[in-house]
Chain A
């Protein structure tokens, strides 16, 4: 019973927050809705017995979104004083949201300890006795090895692409030339000047 309630709760919140991610005009708000969506998707993962993927979803995606958030804040012209102005007014909403998240965590844990949802057909059914990470590792490095290696190539392409499209060699910029710095002697760098009183120095 509690699994069903938890499933519908998570699924509903995922859908609503995904819709709000797209429709909210403020980019910062839409990033926050995205985090909520990821959080609830993680809850769904816990329900099907994929705890490891749930943790990954929270750590990787919410972490990545936090970085993205930073970029958004840096790139868009957002007035921070205006943002902070409503802090007291929005404090209670924020508190309610975080309370809701805490409640969701408890519901998820409750549902999880009551046993996950079982699916009729799966390519790779989960053996309850094998820990999640071990099960994934065993599949990833045997059955899906080929795709795993290929995914590595996809990442390589992404890396090459990012470098090709953004890297520029600038001949006019001032590089640090360590060789020159180290081989420099004090007699090249220091000049003794006899400065007469009252006349100043010429450099």
Chain B
């Protein structure tokens, strides 16, 4: 394969890398006042990278001696990642304008772009080395983003916690990778799969366990979820929205790829781990969220809970299961980004952001449209039928049932009822409690538009998209299995 063909396969990454370097230079010379311009340029770059996905980047096959695979799966995941990254850039300027002393620095969009490159590499990695470097590129940018508000001690705490625990998780993952490499003699997924199909030695099993433990941290699945609530609460809200969406998709895509492509023959072994992580995440995410009074913490537990449901699809280990995971993640990022967009609108009359659930009280009377949208997101996250969130849960559970995992599906559905409780509590606070002081009016038309789009997507109208979504995710899953 010629070199130019290989470069075409990584065209989205090249666009983002060159673009972020140029924007970095612009921001270095123009300083803080370039922040808005750099933000919009970064969004344009993400759109450009999304367009570049149409070419060989979605169908090219193996590139760089097997280090990288450009297929329909990676293209689908990258599309979700770019959308989530673009939204996180768009919502930032107004948030930082309202904080004291922490302006939006032009490095924010640049770091998100670099992180997007890392995530793109993660989902198209077909070698342990590529996987790890992509993961570190994403994580390192994320650590910086978490502590982006230097005046805020909670933000600094979030960054430090994320960094220390993330380094620990990277260590665990690397240990697993070194075991897998040592016992298979290769870092290529194909060769690893070949070795796994020839019987499982203790070393291979240990490697598998450690790799899955490291990945569980990155998708914040129980029992490696401890960092999530603190980091989500402390990080600036646009960054939290970013954490809850794009890196989740990337880490999930990575987990699916490594489970199916590299360790596919050992499906019986990793299925146990995935089932445990799925059920523990669903149950703990639901139970621990009940006592929360901060909306960002609540959404953090909600993301743990949702990762559990997505893992149910992975546990199936079939083509339908992989496609269900992708469907779940698509609908999940729409719901999550929508919820965080509404959290961003929660500010008192002086424009200072508030985060308590109690401040939502009676919002149906003061801000009826916003309350209706948040109620839709909450109902959808709970998986209540006419909304699109129901279809996501339906897809993963039907994949699990088709794979014969009846007990998993039964316990998962039962636990989703617990989860419904705290989502409904938010709705009850908004619609039936005595009104709290009203929030400041929404000033940004862009944010209102984004809320409207995500609300429309998860409304029953979203069901019209199912054929398109199904064909895209099925061809993505076929690329893996």
Chain A residues at the B interface, C-beta cutoff of 8 Å: 119-123, 142-147, 150-151, 153-154, 156-158, 160-161, 163-165
Contact = CB atoms under 8 A, between A and B. Distances in A.
Interface string B109-128: 01100110110010000010
B19 to A, nearest CB: 13
Interface residues of B, number: 39
26 contacts: A121-B186, A123-B186, A123-B188, A142-B65, A143-B67, A144-B129, A145-B64, A146-B10, A147-B67, A147-B130, A150-B134, A151-B133, A153-B17, A153-B114, A153-B137, A154-B136, A154-B140, A157-B115, A160-B107, A160-B111, A160-B114, A160-B144, A161-B111, A161-B140, A161-B144, A164-B148
A120 B184 CA distance: 10
Contacts of A120: 185
Interface in B115-163: 115, 117-118, 121, 127, 129-130, 133-134, 136-137, 140-141, 143-144, 147-148, 150, 159
A39 B262 CA distance: 34
Nearest to A162: B144
Given A123-B191, A146-B63, 19 more contacts: A123-B181, A123-B188, A146-B10, A146-B68, A147-B129, A150-B130, A150-B133, A150-B137, A153-B114, A154-B133, A154-B136, A157-B115, A157-B137, A158-B140, A160-B107, A161-B140, A161-B141, A165-B144, A165-B150
Interface string B59-87: 00001110110000000000000000000
A164 B143 CA distance: 12
B174 interface: no
Nearest to A119: B185
Contacts of B107: 160, 163-164
B64 A146 contact: yes
Q: DSSP majority for the B interface?
A: helix
Contacts of B24: 160
A147 B13 CA distance: 13
Contacts of A158: 140
Closest 3 CB pairs of A and B: A121-B185, A161-B144, A146-B64
B303 interface: no
Contacts of B110: 160
Q: DSSP majority for the A interface?
A: helix
Interface of B: 10, 17, 24, 63-65, 67-68, 105, 107, 110-111, 114-115, 117-118, 121, 127, 129-130, 133-134, 136-137, 140-141, 143-144, 147-148, 150, 159, 181, 184-188, 191
Contacts of B68: 146
Nearest to B136: A154
A119 B184 CA distance: 12
A143 B140 contact: no
A191 B229 CA distance: 67
Contacts of B65: 142-143
Contacts of B181: 123
B404 to A, nearest CB: 36
A161 B24 CA distance: 12
A157 B114 CA distance: 7
Contacts of B105: 164
Contact of A157 (B64, B144, B159, B185): B144
A156 B21 CA distance: 9
Contact of A164 (B133, B144, B185): B144
A150 B150 CA distance: 28
Contacts of A122: 185
B101 to A, nearest CB: 11
B137 to A, nearest CB: 5
Nearest to B125: A147
A147 B65 CA distance: 11
A156 B121 CA distance: 16
Contacts of B159: 165
B143 A161 contact: yes
Contact of B121 (A121, A144, A145, A150): A150
A140 to B, nearest CB: 11
B87 to A, nearest CB: 21
A142 B159 CA distance: 36
Contacts of A123: 181, 185-188, 191
Contacts of B129: 144, 147
Contacts of A146: 10, 63-64, 67-68, 130
